Amino acid sequence: MTLDAATLNRLIDGLVDHGHFVGPDVVDAGLCRALHDELDHLAAHDGLKAAGIGRGEQHQLRRDIRGDAIRWLTRDSQAQRDYLALMDDLQRQINRTLYLGLFEFEAHFARYPPGTFYRTHVDSFQGRANRVISTVLYLNPGWPDDGGGEMVIYADDASRELVRIPPESGTFVCFLADRVPHAVLPTRHPRASIAGWFRRNASLGGHVDPAR
Ligand SMILES: O=C(O)CCC(=O)C(=O)O
Ligand SMILES: [Fe+2]
């Protein structure tokens, strides 16, 4: 499975012109269904862990900031391997056209129970920017208009809302990880997604950011 050329061009243009890209129906419905089934199974069998904020020793649970439960992808199902192969292909294409030197991709399933959200944040900090591009794939078929749970992308200085994205199955979003403030609005239904990051394993002052 690969991304079609037209989508790829729009994605690259979006990143260059606006710092973000939003596309409906980017990922095949069958693959989204398989990933959603896997996440449902994990949720039903205690396979998810409450997500925190901060890395390493700074890691802490803050349900007032983010309320999702996650599991890192490890290639242990065909659906995971298919999605990661798609992201491998995307990494190659971005490196070929934008010379970003992306080196690896890390991603986790995320499930937001009703009533949860993720407050406005950026995914990496300038100068420590090992996460270069953020990605999100949504897995919820037929998301209702009043379901909440939209992702909002804000202007650089967080003053203005630029787009509001319902988490409809197949919709794929990517953006510059150190520059784009974004949030998940409170959801009314269980909300399933895969959040991922293309990383550059830069060593800054001899310090290499841990993988997760
Ligand atoms: O699920 C989303 O729409 C965004 C999640 C997010 O911002 C994150 O996990 O860093
Ligand atoms: Fe984020």
**Residues contacting 191, CB < 8 A, separation 6+:** 111, 112, 140, 147, 149, 167, 184
Between 12 and 205, where is the model more confident?
Answer: 12
Residues with CB under 6 A from ligand 1: 110, 118, 123, 136, 151, 182, 184, 193, 195
Single-letter code of the amino acid located at 71:
R
Domain range list for the chain: 5-50+63-201
Q: What is the CATH number of domain 5-50+63-201?
A: 2.60.120.620
Which atom of ligand 1 is nearest the CA belonging to 68? 9
Query: What is the percentage of the chain residues whose pLDDT exceeds 90?
Result: 80
Average pLDDT over residues 4-31: 96
Please state the rounded mean pLDDT for residues 61-69: 94
3-7, 12-16, 44-48, 166-170: least confidently modelled range: 3-7
CA distance 206 to 212: 18
Q: Quick one: pLDDT at residue 108?
A: 98
Q: What is the mean pLDDT of the chain?
A: 92
Please give the pLDDT value at position 204.
55
* pLDDT level of residue 113 (50, 70, 90 thresholds): very high
Q: How do residues 129-140 score in pLDDT, each as one tens digit? A: 689 999 999 999
Residues 15-25, mean pLDDT to the nearest whole number: 96
pLDDT at 149: 98
Give the pLDDT confidence score for residue 211 in this predicted structure: 56
Q: What is the structure's pLDDT at 70?
A: 97
pLDDT score of 207? 55
Taking the CA of residue 193 as reference, the ligand 1 atom at the shortest distance is 1
Is ipTM > 0.85 here? yes
CB 111 within 8 A of CB 187: no
Give the ligand whose atoms come closest to the C-alpha of residue 173: 1
Write down the pLDDT at residue 114.
Answer: 98
- Would you tell me how many other CB atoms lie within 10 Å of the CB of residue 58? 8
